[in-house]
Amino acid sequence: MKISVIIPTYNEELVITESYNRLSKVLADNKYSDYELLFINDGSVDRTIDILKEIAGRDKCVKILDFSRNFGHQAAVTAGLNQCQGDIAIIIDADLQDPPEVIPQMIEVFRQNQCNVVYGVRKARKGESIFKKLTAKIFYRTLNYLSEINFPLDTGDFRLVDRKIIDVFKSMHEKNKYIRGLISWVGFKQCPVYYERDARFAGETKYSFSKMLRFASIGLFYFSIKPLKLATSIGFLSLAAGFLLALWLILFRGSSVVNHWGSRTVYWKSFR
């Protein structure tokens, strides 16, 4: 069984060597010999790509997809899923918040339960601001409330998917993907693995507030029609309110409208 590890990477010069070391150690320690570490360099402007090239030069299991600019985390994971060769793939962040040591556990659950997806559920999130934890909690619960699908709570993209799921995913051509949602949505057999999310190994988060908002809105608008229904209802309510106001003005307030609103209203005042 060939294993692909998909690692989206943006300006991670401080962590990338350590990620590579930990990932290859975990895989070697567990006697997985047939694997590829697929790093997607998402338009980094630091030394990430130089370090990756140096690592790939000495380890044939390391492969690189090098983006022409920063397209975002979800685009990087999508490219990884499209290009990976494995019978199974594991999506993992480069910053070691998702501990590589959980991977063998995921593979074990995959084997024992014969499931198609093993998703990581965060029992704890170390080293993250109260703001991030709170907004994440509110967002995932709101998404579940608004959408018809029940997404597992407190999960990110850290998950194992088998070839069936990869092929279904590849057939979806949405431009902006909310990957964790799409993978839940496709169904088949999905099992959880619980883990503690660590603090970032080094450096700062690469998810700015605006990137986070964009990501959240893609999730909401793709998986719930309630925002659309709300916009339609507001539209109709405004139309009805406008119509009633116009009626009221015509029937009861003709003269004062002329006084206050000027020449435009004179026409229908005289008409009346």
How many chain residues bind ligand UDP (CB under 6 A)? 16
Rule CB under 6 A: choose which of 207, 221, 222, 268 binds ligand UDP.
Answer: 207
- Name 65's bridge partners: 40
Q: How far apart are CA 176 and CA 49, in angstroms?
A: 25
Interface residues for ligand UDP in 55-74 (CB under 6 A)?
70, 72-73
Q: Which is nearer to Mg ion, 97 or 265 (CB)?
A: 97
Residues contributing to the site for Mg ion (CB under 5 A): 95, 97
Which residue do the tokens 């397209």 mark?
71
173 touches 100 (CB < 8 A)? no
x/- track of binding to ligand UDP for residues 9-38 (CB under 6 A): xx-x--------------------------
Q: How far apart are CA 5 and CA 30, in angstroms?
A: 15
Which two tokens mark 257?
Answer: 């409208």
Q: Which is nearer to ligand UDP, 10 or 195 (CB)?
A: 10
Q: For strands 155-162 and 88-91, give the pairing.
A: antiparallel
Binding-site partner at residue 215 among Mg ion, ligand UDP, none, CB < 5 to 8 Å by type: none
Neighbouring residues of 209: CB distance < 8 A, sequence distance ≥ 6 = none
Instruction: Provide the minimum distance between the beta carbon of 95 and ligand UDP in the complex, in angstroms, as a whole number.
Output: 4
Q: How far apart are CA 134 and CA 233, in angstroms?
A: 30
Q: Which is nearer to ligand UDP, 76 or 102 (CB)?
A: 76
| Site of interaction with ligand UDP (CB under 6 A) | 8-10, 12, 42, 70, 72-73, 76, 93-95, 97, 205-207
